Structure 1
Amino acid sequence: MRKVLIVGAGQSGLQLALGLQSQGYAVTLMSNRTADEIRSGRVMSTQCMFDTALQHERDLAVNFWESQAPRIEGLGVSVAAPGSHAEPGGSQRAIDWVGTLEGYAQSVDQRVKMAGWMETFAQRGGQLVIHGAAVSDLDFFAGRYDLTLVSAGKGELVSMFGRDAARSPYDAPQRALAVAYVHGLGPRPEHPHFDAVRCNVVPGVGELFVMPTLTTSGRADILFWEGIPGGPLDVFQSVKDPDEHLATTLELMEKFLPWEYARATKVELTDANGTLAGRYAPTVRNPIGRLPSGGLVLGVADVVVANDPITGQGSNSASKCAASYLAAIVERGEEPFDEDWMRATFDRYWDTARHVTKWTNAMLAPPPEHVLDILGAGGRFQPVADRFANGFDDPSDFENFFYDPDAARAYLASHG
């Protein structure tokens, strides 16, 4: 029985651990927190998983919350008219539409999912080690395993994986992030009978994402500001009180996005740990880490490809990476997990991940005219809105119409 060590108990680490466990591998999982500590701790993300990523969970029969979580059937885009927030009466919408997803999306608070998956892993006989791992720890443990995987995307371990400058155009954070989980949000009046993720763009200022979720206390919604650093949304770093965080979130909604604020006047935080703020630079790293003793470890998901959450791809990419690595490990049989195999395994994942990185980095920049034309056409032609929405599930499709002005014009001409 081959022995695998996985360090980090997030979406990718736990999904991979459960998948390998189901295939008969002896898996040890290292986490710096217990399931109870995760469940009672601070929110960790704004996860919204689309159909392909959800299917990976179904394939492993670990989609435990699918019947409880809201079904997200659409993805909408609203763009505030430039400068309109400075005028009496507040912002107006230059663009406003909702696209229909071919397969529904869902969001499950990672406190719920990771705690539940960790308990399942242990119940199924997995070796769970509660220990915050340093490089020295890994150096000690790694020699006892056939393969060591690092899926903890923060802290000292990440320093083992050097930045890939050719694939990392940004060396500083491009957005200041602020998250609030709330109860009491009203429906979007444009579609009161179905749930959708709403992406609200304030040109030159930032974006607000609103998404339904399942949290520790049931159905909720996530209010997620992405502010351009140094701009009017970049005000959360000094906010430590959760109630002040929510009040600031709502004040900014009232100023910049009154149509979203109108349904948020009665919201309250889901819990005292329902807020999060921070920033990080989008970075692609070299996938192989070398330990002081010379041993090799393979980076997983956002350890090696960390994109800004503006395109909602974090948990989706983690799921896709775990599924890709699982297949590569099983296919390897009894052959050694050597450096060539590690690089080939990452390259196989990168073939999918590169589309996410290209699209995400493009969305962080001011949109060129042809992209504005595509977004505008979504309000006139439902197939354009639908195609853009479904790109969140399969970002490779953006290669066909999104980046090249001529391809965009040809695509839009076919609709009008």
Structure 2
Amino acid sequence: MRRMLIVGAGQSGLQLALGLQTHGYDVTLMSNRTADEIRTGRVMSTQCMFRTALQHERDLEINFWEEQAPRIQGLGVSVAGPVTPLGHPRLVDWLGRLNGYAQSVDQRLKMAGWMEAFERRGGRLVVHGAAVSDLNFLAERYDLVLVAAGKGELGSLFMRDAARSPYTTPQRALAVAYVHGLAPRLEHPDIEAVRCNLVPGVGELYIMPALTTSGRADILFWEAIPGGPADVFQGVTDPSEHLALTLELMEWFTPWEYGRATRVELTDAGGTLSGRYTPTVRDPVGRLPGGGLVLGVADVVVTNDPLTGQGSNSAAKCAASYLASIVEHGDRPFDEAWMRRAFQRFWAMARHVTKWTNAMLAPPPEHIVRLLGAAGQLPAVAHRFVNGFDDPADFENYFYEPDKTAAFLEEAEAGATGNPEAPEALGTGPADDPADDPAEETAGEAAGQVG
């Protein structure tokens, strides 16, 4: 029986460990915390998993919370206009439907549950914060060592790939609050949806339904431009102060969202998180001092900003891809050539995520401004854009190049004109005052400042 060591008990590490178990491998998993410590600790992410990633969990029969978690049916985009004495109005507001529902499960709940399942199924769990010296000692005792925890010393094993990493500093300052008591959106009170609010010169506010340790919740997530007016969470350690700042920003920059948040409260004392990190792609093969090799997993080697909600999705897809590469390899040695082939198989998908996320971090060019504005009037545009969160490869076909965008918009307009039975758009801009009809250029200027 082939022996596998996985360091890191997050989405990718645990999913891969559970997957390898189903194929009869002898798996050891190293975690720096116990299941109980994870479950009662601080929130770790703002995960929202779309159809393909959820299917990987179903395939392994580890979708333990699917019946409990809210079923997210759509994704909405709003764009704030220039500031007025009363704050920021909405210039654009629309909602696109997902082909299959998405879900968000607090990783404290999921990772603790998966760790316990891994042990019940005969897996060996070692609670220890692994260092390079540990891996140097253990590498010879396992057929393959996979590193799915890249913080601290272990991250130094994987060198930055400058050609694939255009940013050298964090592009957003992140602030998360898990809350109970958020009211539904008045426009679509019966539709569970992720809401993306773009605020020019400030950043983005995401709101997503989720399941946490105390039941149904919502996640309030600011992505602030560093040094901008929403970059106010650094050094804030008091959860109550964190929530107060979150709501103050919402009241001024996204009043349409603040109106449903006046009675929210934190889910628990560990329901806040803040920080920032630099999007980076790294060499997937790490070299240990003794000459052994280890393979980096998911965001250890492909770290994207959470702006496009791809972290847990990419982690699930990486685990599924690596599992297939391992099983298909049979009894042959897991040498450097195999490691690089396994990564390239994952990168064929991950490169689309990296390209799209890096593009969304930058100020949008004119053709993207037109695309986001058109989605409010053309359901086909909204539908295709929001389903790109499940399959970012599709953005290659219409998103990056102005000519392709123009051709797609022309096709969508022709389809809407030629099909009187086309579905009605779920929300269009402008949204705040039906009497106002700002020119397209005004909305374009506002959206063009985002990033």
Q: Detail structure 1 runs of 4+ shifted over 6 Å in the superposition.
A: none
1:214-233 to 2 correspondences below 5 Å: 214-233=211-230
**Do structure 1's residue 19 and structure 2's residue 16 form an aligned pair?**
no
- Give 1:121's aligned residue: 118
TM-score, structure 2 normalization: 0.91
Alignment match, 2:410: 413
Alignment map for 1:81-120 (pairs within 5 Å) = 81=81, 83-84=82-83, 87-120=84-117
Match of 2:128 in 1: 131
Within 5 Å, give how 1:338-349 maps onto structure 2: 338-349=335-346
* Aligned-residue offset at 1:204: 1.3
Corresponding residue to 1:264 among 242, 261, 267: 261
Alignment partner, residue 187 of structure 2: 190
State the partner residue of 2:350: 353
Q: 2:87 and 2:56 mapped to 1: Cα distance? A: 43
Question: 1:194: how far off?
Answer: 1.4
Q: Give the gaps of 5 or more residues in structure 1.
A: none
Q: List aligned pairs for 1:6-405, cutoff 5 A.
A: 6-81=6-81, 83-84=82-83, 87-405=84-402
Alignment-derived partner of residue 442 in structure 2: none
* Pairwise CA distance, 1:89: 2.0
Provide the rounded CA distance (Å) in 2 between the counterparts of 1:188 and 1:169: 37
Aligned partners of 2:412 and 2:52: how far apart in 1? 27
* Counterparts of 1:333 and 1:415, CA distance in 2: 48
Compute the displacement of 1:203 (Å): 1.0
Q: Distance in 2 between matches of 1:213 and 1:354?
A: 27
Q: Which amino acid aligns with 1:75?
A: L
**Per-residue Cα deviation, 1:273-324 (whole angstroms, up to 9, x for no partner):** 0000000000000000000000000000000000000000000000000000
In the alignment, structure 2 segments of 5+ residues that lack a partner are 414-451
Q: 1:121-157, CA deviations, whole angstroms, 9 ceiling, x for partnerless residues?
A: 0010000000000000110111100000000031110
Counterpart-to-counterpart distance in 2, 1:12 and 1:415: 37
TM-aligned CA deviation for residue 228 of structure 1: 0.3
One-letter identity of the residue aligned with 1:38: I
1:208 Cα offset (Å):
0.2
1:28 Cα deviation after fit: 0.1
Whole-Å separation in 1 of the counterparts to 2:47 and 2:369: 26
Task: Tell me the SS of whatever aligns to 1:415.
Answer: helix
Aligned-residue Cα RMSD (Å) equals 0.5
Provide the C-alpha distance between the structure 1 equivalents of 2:411 and 2:327, rounded to a whole number of angstroms. 44
How big is the shift at 1:94?
Answer: 1.4
CA distance in 1, matches of 2:331, 2:412: 53
Aligned residue for 1:211, secondary structure, equals strand
Aligned amino acid, residue 12 of structure 2: S
Cα distance between partner residues in 1 of 2:363 and 2:54? 31
Whichever residue aligns with residue 61 of structure 1, its letter is E
What SS class does the counterpart of residue 414 from structure 1 fall into? Answer: helix
Amino acid at match of 1:371: I
Structure-1-length-normalised TM-score: 0.99
In structure 1, give the amino acid aligned to 2:236. V
Name the SS for the 1:237 alignment partner.
coil
Q: Which amino acid aligns with 1:18?
A: L
**Corresponding pairs, count:** 413
